[in-house]
Chain A
Amino acid sequence: MFAYLVRRLFLMLVTLFGISVVIFFLLRIVPGNIVDILFAAAGYVDPADKANLEKELGIDQPLVVQYLHWIGGFLRGDFGYSYVSEKPALQEILPRIPITARLAGLALLFSASIGIPLGVISAVKQGTRLDYTLRVVSLSGLSLPSFWLGLLILTASVAMFGQIPIFNPNPATWLEAFATYAVPAAAVGFRSAALTMRITRSSMLEVLRQDYIRTARAKGASDAAVNYRHALKNAILPVITVIGIEAAFLIGGLIVTETVFNIPGVARFLVEAIRWRDYPIVQNLVMLIAVVVVSANFIVDMLYAVFDPRIRYTD
Chain B
Amino acid sequence: MAAIDFDVELRRAGAHATVGWRRVLFLAQRHVLGAAGLTIMIVFVLTAIFADFIARYDPLTVDSAHALMRPSLVHWMGTDSFGRDVFSRIIHGARISLAVGIGSTALGGTIGVIVGLTSGYLSGWVDLVFQRVSDILQALPLLVLALIMTAALGPSLPNVILAIAIPLIPTVSRVTRANTLALREQPFVEAAKSIGMSEARIALRHVLPNTLAPLIVLATAQLGSTILTEASLSFLGLGIPEPYPSWGRMLSESAAEYVRTAPWLVIFPGIAISLAVFGANLFGDALRDILDPRQRG
State the A residues within 8 Å of B (CB).
11, 14-16, 18-19, 22-23, 26-27, 29-30, 123, 126, 132, 135-136, 139-140, 142-145, 147-148, 151-152, 154-155, 158-159, 164, 201-202, 205-206, 248-249, 251-252, 255-256, 259-260, 262, 270-271, 274-275, 277, 282, 286, 289-290, 293-294, 297
B259 partner, pick from A30, A154, A249, beta carbons under 8 A: A154
Shortest beta-carbon contacts, A-B, top 7: A252-B143, A148-B270, A143-B278, A205-B297, A18-B136, A143-B277, A274-B151
Whether A252 touches B236, Cβ cut-off 8 Å, given contacts A140-B274, A142-B224, A143-B277, is no
- Residues A29 and B259 in contact, CB atoms below 8 Å apart: no
- Residues A289 and B144 in contact, CB atoms below 8 Å apart: yes
Whether A140 touches B270, Cβ cut-off 8 Å, given contacts A14-B132, A26-B149, A290-B140, is no
| B181 close to chain A: CB less than 8 A | no
Q: Return chain A residues, CB-CB under 8 Å to B238.
A: 271, 274-275
Q: Return chain A residues, CB-CB under 8 Å to B27.
A: none
| Assembled-state Cα–Cα distance A155/B152 (Å) | 34
Interface residues of B, CB < 8 Å — how many?
A: 47
B152 partner, pick from A11, A27, A154, beta carbons under 8 A: A27
Whether A255 touches B135, Cβ cut-off 8 Å, given contacts A145-B274, A202-B295, A271-B238, is no
Interface of B is mostly: helix
B297 partner, pick from A29, A140, A202, A260, beta carbons under 8 A: A202
| Assembled-state Cα–Cα distance A232/B94 (Å) | 42
- Residues A286 and B148 in contact, CB atoms below 8 Å apart: yes
The smallest C-beta distance from A294 to any residue of chain B, in angstroms, reads: 5
Q: Return chain A residues, CB-CB under 8 Å to B88.
A: none
- Residues A155 and B149 in contact, CB atoms below 8 Å apart: no
Interface centre among B237, B260, B275 (most CB of A within 10 A): B260
- Residues B248 and A145 in contact, CB atoms below 8 Å apart: yes
Q: Which of B131-160 contact A (CB under 8 A)?
A: 132-133, 135-136, 139-144, 147-149, 151-154
Binary flags per residue of B243-287, CB closer than 8 Å to A gives 1, else 0: 000001001000110011001001101100111011001100100
State the B residues within 8 Å of A (CB).
33, 132-133, 135-136, 139-144, 147-149, 151-154, 224, 228, 231-232, 235-238, 248, 251, 255-256, 259-260, 263, 266-267, 269-270, 273-275, 277-278, 281-282, 285, 295, 297
Closest residue of A by beta carbon distance from B288: A202
- Residues B237 and A275 in contact, CB atoms below 8 Å apart: yes
A to B CB contacts below 8 Å, 25 in the list: A18-B135, A19-B140, A26-B148, A26-B152, A135-B285, A136-B33, A139-B33, A140-B278, A142-B224, A143-B281, A144-B274, A145-B270, A148-B251, A148-B270, A151-B255, A155-B267, A164-B260, A205-B297, A251-B141, A251-B143, A252-B141, A255-B143, A262-B256, A293-B141, A294-B139
Q: Return chain A residues, CB-CB under 8 Å to B133.
A: 18
- Residues B274 and A30 in contact, CB atoms below 8 Å apart: no
The smallest C-beta distance from A301 to any residue of chain B, in angstroms, reads: 13
| Assembled-state Cα–Cα distance A30/B154 (Å) | 8
Using A142-B277, A143-B228, A256-B236 as known contacts, list a sample of 12 further A-B pairs with CB atoms less than 8 Å apart, ordered by residue number in A: A26-B148, A140-B274, A140-B278, A148-B270, A151-B266, A158-B259, A158-B263, A164-B256, A249-B141, A259-B235, A262-B256, A297-B139
The smallest C-beta distance from A189 to any residue of chain B, in angstroms, reads: 16
Closest residue of A by beta carbon distance from B296: A205
The smallest C-beta distance from A111 to any residue of chain B, in angstroms, reads: 15
Q: Return chain A residues, CB-CB under 8 Å to B297.
A: 123, 126, 201-202, 205-206
- Residues B260 and A158 in contact, CB atoms below 8 Å apart: yes
- Residues A155 and B148 in contact, CB atoms below 8 Å apart: no
A155 partner, pick from B140, B153, B248, B259, beta carbons under 8 A: B259
B232 partner, pick from A143, A256, A294, beta carbons under 8 A: A256
Interface centre among A14, A259, A289, A294 (most CB of B within 10 A): A259
The smallest C-beta distance from B10 to any residue of chain A, in angstroms, reads: 17
Closest residue of B by beta carbon distance from A259: B236
- Residues A139 and B263 in contact, CB atoms below 8 Å apart: no
The smallest C-beta distance from A287 to any residue of chain B, in angstroms, reads: 10
| Assembled-state Cα–Cα distance A30/B224 (Å) | 30
The smallest C-beta distance from B186 to any residue of chain A, in angstroms, reads: 23
The smallest C-beta distance from B25 to any residue of chain A, in angstroms, reads: 20
Closest residue of A by beta carbon distance from B225: A142
| Assembled-state Cα–Cα distance A14/B139 (Å) | 12
Q: Return chain B residues, CB-CB under 8 Å to A30.
A: 151-154
- Residues B256 and A260 in contact, CB atoms below 8 Å apart: yes
| Assembled-state Cα–Cα distance A155/B260 (Å) | 7
Q: Return chain A residues, CB-CB under 8 Å to B248.
A: 145
The smallest C-beta distance from A254 to any residue of chain B, in angstroms, reads: 9
| Assembled-state Cα–Cα distance A275/B113 (Å) | 34
Q: Return chain B residues, CB-CB under 8 Å to A293.
A: 139-141
| Assembled-state Cα–Cα distance A215/B148 (Å) | 52
